[in-house]
Structure formats: C-alpha cells, structure tokens
Structure 1
C-alpha cells in the first residue's frame, strides 16, 4: 500500500518541481505613429530599451505606424526609445547587379533619435494596447 501511494504522489511532485517559475517581465502591446519633419516615416524601426536594463522590444515602422506585440509587447516600465530609418528602405539589391547600391545605407533620422537618443517613454500596465506617438524634428 505504501508503494502505491509513493507511485501516485511521485508524478505530482515531479510536475510541481519541474514547472519552473515565470520570471518573464509583464508586458503590454504598444502601438503608435512616428512623424519626422511632420511626415510619416515611410519605413524604419523603433526600439524600446528598458532602463536600466531588461529585454529590448522592437517593431517595424511602415507608413508612419508601428505595433509592438511580439512576446506580448513591451516590458512595463521606463524605456529609452531609438528610432531608425534609412534612405532606400528595405530594398535588397544584388552586389553583382548594382554594386553602387550596396554601400552603407544613408540614415534619414538624426542620431539624436537613435544612437544618442534622449527620447523616453513609460509603458504602464492596463487593458488593451497603449498608444505612444512620436513627432521628431
């Protein structure tokens, strides 16, 4: 009888011990619009970099709009925002066909909005997507 109890309890203990914990940060879907010089950014990327650290969330900007929803969205909290866009968009060109087109892309957005960005946003908990719009000079 003792052996039967042990056999029945062992799988339950195993399952409880092996499920692990969910250490992933709470997230929220973030959506919005990005304008540069009062025009929608045709194509680019936006990155939400948690401060002081944490998993980065990003999304493509298309026709001035973005939506971060991968892995549940952006981790809650304060973020430094980086916005990038390059001339020529996402077009890929074969090196043999047009080698002059394969030079480094010309960045359209100034570094003060990407590598040296001082843009900040706080992603708060809530129901539904959070709207965050950015207007760049």
Structure 2
C-alpha cells in the first residue's frame, strides 16, 4: 500500500510543481567591504532590496566584510541597500547602562543608511562573485 501512495503522489507533485520552479530570479554571489566613518563595521547586516520588488537578500557583516551567497546570492537588477550595525565591543548598550530595561543594542549606523536609505546598487550577471564596497560617512 505504501508503494501505491508514492506512485499516486509523484504525478500529482509533478503537475503541481513540487519539483521546483524555473521562475526563480537569476542570482549572483556578492561580496564586499563596509566602512562607517573610515572604520570597518565590526558587526552588522546588509540587505539588498530589489526595486521595485522581489526577494530580499541579506548577509552578516563581520569585521567590515560581507558575502551574500544564500540561495545563490543576490537577484540580478537594481537594489536599495540597507546597512545596520549593532553596538559591540567597548561601546555601551542601553541594557548595560540601565540593567532593569531589557533593551536591544543601540544602532550606530544612521537611518539614512537603513530605514531611510538612498544607497543603490545594480547586481549584474557575470562569472564569479561581484564586489560591491560601501563607504558611509
């Protein structure tokens, strides 16, 4: 009976698209460096938000470097870039100053580079990883 279920489910999956989708956007691995006030961002994130729409790609920034490779990288095309960084190392966070509050780490990157970002980049097709560096003031 178990073999019969497999035989019946396989054609249904094939007809409904269980085997994958060919309409996924083309992607490319993107790497780069991110500086804020001429210093590497120690710990943060970078997000590539397709314009006008599409799947968002992101990566962790560590010691000023990032690499977006999940799901094949960043979808090709134009993107709005958001960069965030959490205070770390010797910087104080609100929870350390006022321990009674359960506060998240303080954001050290101005909103003009994340929530209100005007940073843009175009990810082009090509062989190998694409290098995109960002220097924030």
TM band (smaller chain): 0.7 to 0.9
Q: What is the CA distance between 1:87 and its match in structure 2? A: 1.0
Task: Quickly say closer, same or farther: Cα 1:118–1:13, change in 2 above 3 A.
Answer: closer
Shift of 1:102: 3.0
1:125 is displaced (CA, Å) by 0.1
| 1:86 and 1:108 in contact (8 A); partners too | yes
Q: 2:84–2:113: 8 Å Cα contact kept in structure 1?
A: yes
**Unmatched tracts of structure 2, length 5 or more:** none
Extract unaligned runs of 5+ from structure 1: none
Deviation of the 1:91 alpha carbon = 12
C-alpha offsets along residues 50-72 of structure 1, whole Å, 9 cap, x if unaligned?
00000000000000000000000
Q: TM-score, normalised by structure 2?
A: 0.79
Change (3 A) 1:59 1:101: farther
How many residues align? The count is 137
Aligned-residue offset at 1:134: 0.0
Equivalences for residues 115-126 of structure 1 within 5 A: 115-126=115-126
Give the Cα separation in 1 of the matches to 2:47 and 2:115: 11
**Mean alpha-carbon deviation: is it higher for 88-97 or for 126-135?**
88-97
1:46 touches 1:84 (CA, 8 Å); kept in 2? yes
* CA distance in 2: counterparts of 1:105 and 1:82, whole angstroms: 18
Name whichever of 29-38 and 94-103 sits farther off. 94-103
* 8 A Cα contact 2:113 2:119, kept in partner: yes
Assess, with a 3 A threshold, how the Cα gap between structure 1 residues 18 and 36 changes in structure 2: closer, same or farther.
Answer: closer
